[in-house]
Structure formats: C-alpha cells, structure tokens
Amino acid sequence: MPTRVLVLNGPNLARLGSREPEVYGSTSYETLAERCRAIGTELGFDVDVRQTDDEAELVGWLHEATDASLPVVLNPAAFTHYSYALRDACAQLTAPLVEVHISNPAAREEFRHTSVVAGVATGTIAGFGLASYELALRALSAR
C-alpha cells in the first residue's frame, strides 16, 4: 500500500496561473495538483493535494497528519511569516515536514524573509518554481 502524503497549500495558491505570473508562473493550481499526484505515484506515494485560504482549516489538516503520522509537503504561503498557530501545529508532526515555496522568499520583500515554520520543518525548498514540489516529494522518498 502506498504511503499517504499530504501536500497542503495556503492562501491564494488556488489562483496560480492568474496571480502574479511573473512571480508564480502561468501554470494553474489544478495542473500543479495533477503533477504532484503523478510524481507521488511514481515514488510510491498516495498524494492528497489540498488548498485553503483559511488558517483554521490548514491547522486542522496538520492535526490530521499528526494523528495519522503522515508526511507533509507544506506551502504555507502568507501564513509562513506570522502564523504561530500554524507553526505550533507543524511542531506536533511526527512524520517529516518539507516546507516549500514557489519563489525564493529571501530574494523578495523584507517581510517575507522570516519563516515561522522553517524552525520546525525537516527541510525547506524554495525558489524552483513548481519544481519545488517535486523536489520536496523526492526528498520525502529519499528519507
């Protein structure tokens, strides 16, 4: 039976393809989700891709991952920089957590330079566009 992996996405990521394509590219969220599932299948994972603009829902999904010991690929989006609730939920995870970002937050506005999630993540992959997700799934597979 394949290992179940949650790929969780925070606010505004459902708008991929139309939101700031110069930063986030022109690929749609649906295409990203399909790519994650296909790569997951290749790696022996059952990938469940989700997106929400709601902090409480994202925290609930992290609790679900904790309770089931599921590995997580997380793009916290704007929550990266200030959501201590999200950070605390991530700290409870018992399986690996890979934080991902499409752009490189360190090369952007100063307020994006701090991640409250990074300190409790197994690792962070940023700046490789949508390939950041593939790299994260491959990192989980290598563990």
Burial class of 82 by CB neighbour count within 10 A (0 to 12, 13 to 18, 19+): middle
Enumerate the active-site residues: 24, 101
How far does the chain reach from its first CA to its final CA, in angstroms? 17
The verdict on whether residue 63 carries a ligand-binding annotation is no
Spans of all domains in the chain: 3-142
The verdict on whether residue 112 carries a ligand-binding annotation is yes
User: pLDDT truncated to tens, each residue of the chain (143 aa)?
Assistant: 779 999 999 998 888 776 666 665 667 899 999 999 999 999 999 999 999 999 999 999 999 999 999 999 999 998 998 899 999 999 999 999 999 999 877 767 686 768 899 999 999 999 999 999 999 999 999 98
Phi, psi of 42 (to 5 degrees): -60, -35
Question: 71: which DSSP letter?
Answer: -
* Dist. CA 104–CA 112, nearest whole Å: 9
For the whole prediction, is pTM greater than 0.95? Answer: no
What CATH number belongs to 3-142? 3.40.50.9100
The verdict on whether residue 12 carries a ligand-binding annotation is no
